[in-house]
Chain A
Amino acid sequence: MPSASSTRTGFDTALLGIKGLALVAAGVLVLAFPQLAPDAFILSVGVVIASYAALAVSWNFVGGFTGYISLGHAAYSGLGGYGTALLILEAGWNPWLSLVGSAVAVGVLALPIGFASLRVRGASFVIVSIALVLILLLVSQSWSDVTGGSNGLRVPRPFGEDVLRPEQHERFFYLHVGLIVIALAVWWAIDRSRFGTGLKAIREDEDKAQALGVPTFAYKLTVFVISAFFTALAGGMYALWFGSLDPIFQFSILVGSYMVLMSLLGGIRSLLGPVVGAVIVGYSLEYFKSAYGDTQFHLVALGLLLALVVLFMPDGVLPALGSLVDRIRPDKATSIREMTAAELVEKNKEIDEARREPEEVSR
């Protein structure tokens, strides 16, 4: 979260108060949601949106810190789902142990994948991320002895038969929220660390960062593995809730693009951006569906929304709001433009404890 600068004005204090209040209100609302939801269907929509948010936050470890846009994160969520299902079905593990075990396995698998794909930048990286989803789709469809082929797999319920369906929704809603909170906490911790500063230097200018002694490749690979781990957790959690896996929907480029759209829309540089984006996109998807359900119009809407965000709001909604606040700020002097990577790293060396987040001040 943006913290106040050292020269805190009355305006800043007021702003901080408003932000804090909004945050508390949002938190209470999220926790009370299962009680507020008028019926089990709305509750299930809530679980889907929470799942989107968990995926978007996980995606944002790579996208937000390093600026590497992966359109293929569905690969990790899909693997997380399949891994969880297979550990339960084949190895007979406890469902929750399977969930974590499969996420760890995906994290390990992400090492060689990251090693290959992070060697290239920009366009090639995106191509590789798409290719990964497509190859996994082919494998999951073909290797039917293990993956069930096109039929997919059924995932046993972690809760017994006596837990009714609305009750299941409620439990999984809280589980997803818990996962989101953990992921956000890790993101926040990285954001304030030296590691995070190095990653952001990569985002601004990878060559300069490297020249200044940031171990770019190791940093990128580490955050890539963390991202894959959380994405797999979110994918496995969804699989446990939904109860069946279909390769076409597990390894779908569309799901990967949802994650990108949500994060971009909310703002990839801010902690809560992906969550806000997920709520907006998840809600819109449901809305398009109920309003234009029996046409392909929902795809057009998604395409246009993505194009608008890319063209006019590449920094996202939250930063756009931030700059709006800046405009009404009484003293504009504190407003600092984005720093270059060189300045950032230099500054980081000076202030080793890195208490403040120089780049985020007043953004």
Chain B
Amino acid sequence: MIGNRKTRRGALAATACLALATSLGACGLDSGGSSEGNDDEIVIGVSLPLTGDFSEPGKGVQRGYEAWASYVNDNGGLLGKQVRLEILDDQSSADRVASDYEKLINQEKVDLIFGPFSTRLVVPAAQVAKDYGFLFVEPAGAAEEVFTQGFDNLFYAAPAIADDHYNLLAEEIIAMPEAERPKTAAYATMDDPFAQGTAYGLKDKLEAAGIRTVADEVYPPNTTDFSSIAAKIADTEADIVVGGTQYQDAVNLIVALQQLNFQPKMAAFSTAPTNPEFPEAIGAKTEGILSPTGYTPDATYPENQTFVEYYTEMHGGPPAEDEANAWTTGEVVAAAVEASDCADPSPECQQQLIDHLREATVDTVVGPLSWDAEGRPESAHLIQQYVDGKIRIVLPKDQAEADFVAVKPAW
């Protein structure tokens, strides 16, 4: 295996190093990769959080990338060459992610790069990519701030940025008759650009429509005790509870609200409800919980049917959103490569790829994607809801699998 070979080479190099003890950090840090001078394959460098805070979604993205590469190789490769992924672990650290891309570009001499996971890691990584003129398509940096840093090489491979995730829900609520419409809303958001972006996007729209904000709680990532936040929200008796959440924080918040026996009319949380383990984690009291999603395995795009089929065969289960975004990233880069007929690290080729995507519309597993000048995708997220014990698409109406339930049953 690759890991083994790396270790052994590393150990050898380290021994040589200690013996010489002269050339500082220069020895022992080579990766054991053999990408240089090999023209019959395209090497794609990725850094992912495989350990640390973001390791769970990071591994999802990894599965998606690997499935995509294996699919491409099974179907004749890219520009007739085999694709090889070079994946490093950034330990969920911003310092590491920059150094990883530095290593991939300079030492591994990769031909192309894919983005890492999480907004916090995307920004430092995109800076490195920009400095070396690389195209940077990323599966997970959805927060608005990613697009305001002047990165002209960046494209987000998903339907919409964080602030727009709840757009369809906001429209639905605002369109309700005055009497049925919720009057007050409570927000609880993780202090994370992505999670907060989703909830605040909805907050802005609801406030504009006259729905009063009665609680706005922000908690740091890795908060584990939600009893006080839940107590405050319960005390406001808000009609709608919105969580700008990732996974575990949403579970904890919901359990804490249940412990206080607080029953809002509507409850929406980002990310967590789409996780297959979610119903069990909150004691199966999921009925009526809403969540935005950028992806559903049931989507009817031909690309998606191929993807779901291939992925299910490989892993024994359908892909989730992280896997889909990773696959989408692959599709977007592949489209640019095929249109420009080049895949090498030279600035000319990378610039061609960037210029192509600026104008292009790419058909992907999440539908056709196109981008504005800063790399924001220009589509919309779907809204899902637990109806009869199963999570189904309820908005938009033309793709709905079940009817939108406006008043949530008790949890």
Contact = CB atoms under 8 A, between A and B. Distances in A.
B193 interface: yes
B106 A41 contact: yes
A149 B192 CA distance: 9
B192 A150 contact: yes
A6 B403 CA distance: 94
A7 interface: no
Interface residues of B, number: 47
A48 B102 CA distance: 13
B29 A45 contact: yes
Contacts of B88: 293
A229 to B, nearest CB: 24
B103 interface: yes
B93 interface: yes
B210 interface: no
Given A39-B107, A291-B7, A294-B89, A242 B26 contact: no
Contacts of A174: none
A287 B28 CA distance: 7
A41 B29 CA distance: 10
B149 interface: yes
A33 B23 CA distance: 8
A96 B3 CA distance: 43
A152 B11 CA distance: 37
A109 B132 CA distance: 39
Contacts of B94: 152, 244, 246, 249
Contacts of A286: 25, 28-29
Interface in A231-246: 242-244, 246
A308 interface: no
A41 B51 contact: no
Contacts of B124: 242-244
B201 interface: no
A49 B25 contact: yes
A154 interface: yes
Contact of B102 (A29, A41, A154, A283): A41
Nearest to B99: A44
A296 B107 CA distance: 24
Contacts of A150: 120, 191-193, 220-221
A164 B105 CA distance: 14
B11 A291 contact: yes
B26 A38 contact: yes
Given A290-B6, A291-B7, A294-B50, A165 B128 contact: yes
A190 B158 CA distance: 59
Contacts of B14: 287
A154 B29 contact: no
B233 interface: no
DSSP class of B's interface residues: helix, strand, loop or mixed?
helix
A356 B26 CA distance: 38
B98 interface: yes
A165 B148 CA distance: 21
A42 B95 CA distance: 15
A211 to B, nearest CB: 46
A154 B99 contact: no
A37 B26 contact: yes
Contacts of B99: 41, 44-45, 48
Contacts of A292: 7
A40 B102 contact: yes
Q: In the complex, which of the residues A39, A138, A243 has the most CB atoms of chain B within 10 Å of its own CB atom?
A: A39
B329 interface: no
A164 B131 CA distance: 7
B306 interface: no
B27 to A, nearest CB: 9
Q: In the complex, which of the residues B25, B93, B106, B119 has the most CB atoms of chain A within 10 Å of its own CB atom?
A: B25
Contacts of B77: none
A36 B22 CA distance: 11
Contacts of A39: 106-107
A33 B24 CA distance: 8
A208 B11 CA distance: 50
Contacts of B191: 141, 144, 149-150
A287 B106 CA distance: 17
B123 interface: yes
A164 B106 CA distance: 13
B96 A289 contact: yes
Contacts of A138: 220
Interface string B249-290: 000000000000000000000000000000000000000000
A46 B25 contact: yes
Contacts of A296: 51
Interface string A196-235: 0000000000000000000000000000000000000000
26 contacts: A29-B23, A33-B26, A36-B24, A42-B29, A42-B107, A48-B99, A49-B24, A141-B220, A149-B191, A151-B120, A151-B145, A151-B193, A244-B94, A246-B94, A246-B120, A249-B95, A282-B25, A283-B24, A286-B29, A287-B28, A289-B96, A290-B28, A291-B7, A291-B11, A293-B88, A294-B3
Interface of B: 3, 6-7, 10-11, 14, 17, 22-26, 28-29, 31, 50-51, 88-89, 91, 93-96, 98-99, 102-103, 105-107, 119-120, 123-124, 127-128, 131-132, 143, 145, 149, 191-193, 220-221
Nearest first, the 6 closest Cβ-Cβ pairs linking A and B are A165-B131, A150-B191, A294-B89, A39-B106, A41-B106, A291-B10
Interface of A: 29-30, 33, 36-42, 44-46, 48-49, 138, 141-142, 144, 149-152, 154, 164-166, 242-244, 246, 249, 279, 282-283, 286-287, 289-296, 298
